[in-house]
Every structure is written in structure tokens, then in C-alpha cells.
């Protein structure tokens, strides 16, 4: 089925370094959502992007939606230990009355 591909699968960074995860789709997306899952926790909604070329910021997090609406990225500036976890992008297959398709996630590991 239609999937979203996330890279990298794992990312080790030193605390204070920046981090970026990328999400790619072979088809045009109506929107893209990002979730964060802490170790042992459950996914928590971060943001939804809808418009082509959209950029949204949440403190140290910057989310982008590509011009062609086929890719998205999440960038974290100056990582902190609280950023540890897995970041998932997710898309809806159809018109809303359906389930989210999640990527496999990028596991962020921070070394103090």
C-alpha cells in the first residue's frame, strides 16, 4: 500500500547539536502530521501541515511541507535530553474517514 518513508531510522547526536528527520511519499499528500513517542510512551500529536511549502515553528522545532506536498521534515535546533524519543510522520490515505498511515519513525538518541 501507499507508505511514507522516513530517514534516518536512527540518529545519534550530542546534546546541543541539531537534528533533522525526513519524510517522503511517492504520492501527493493532502496533509502530513508529526507525532512524538517517548521511550515506553504513546504517540503524542505535534503538528499538522496542510499547505504547499508550509513552515511552522514550535520553539526549537521547525516543520516543513514540501512545495510538491510529497515530503516533509522536522528540524530540532540545539537538542536537549527531553527531545529523546521516536518521531513519526503520518498521513491519511483518503478523505478523513480512515486511518493514519505512519512511517517507521526516526529514533533520536542524545548523548550528554
Q: Is 8 in the site for another protein (CB under 8 A)?
A: no
Q: Is 14 in the site for another protein (CB under 8 A)?
A: no
Q: Is 13 in the site for another protein (CB under 8 A)?
A: no
Using CB under 8 A as the binding rule, the residues of this chain from 73 to 92 that contact another protein are 88, 90, 92
Residues with Cβ within 8 Å of residue 94, at least 6 apart in sequence = none
Residues with Cβ within 8 Å of residue 53, at least 6 apart in sequence = 64, 65, 66, 67
Using CB under 8 A as the binding rule, the residues of this chain from 37 to 66 that contact another protein are 41-45, 48
Q: Cell numbers at residue 7, please?
A: 530517514
Q: Determine the 3-state secondary structure of 87 from DSSP.
A: strand
Q: Is 11 in the site for another protein (CB under 8 A)?
A: no
Q: Rule CB under 8 A: which residues touch another protein?
A: 1, 33, 41-45, 48, 88, 90, 92, 96-105
Amino acid at each position: 500500500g501507499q507508505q511514507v518513508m522516513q530517514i534516518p531510522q536512527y540518529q545519534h547526536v550530542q546534546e546541543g547539536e541539531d537534528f533533522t528527520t525526513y519524510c517522503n511519499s511517492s504520492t501527493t499528500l493532502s496533509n502530513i502530521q508529526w507525532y512524538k513517542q517517548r521511550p515506553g510512551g504513546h504517540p503524542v500529536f505535534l503538528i499538522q501541515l496542510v499547505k504547499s511549502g508550509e513552515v511552522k515553528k514550535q520553539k526549537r522545532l521547525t516543520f516543513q511541507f514540501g512545495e510538491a506536498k510529497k515530503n516533509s521534515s522536522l528540524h530540532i535546533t540545539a537538542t536537549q535530553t527531553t527531545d529523546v524519543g521516536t518521531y513519526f510522520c503520518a498521513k491519511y490515505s483518503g478523505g478523513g474517514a480512515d486511518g493514519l498511515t505512519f512511517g517507521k519513525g526516526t529514533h533520536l538518541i542524545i548523548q550528554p
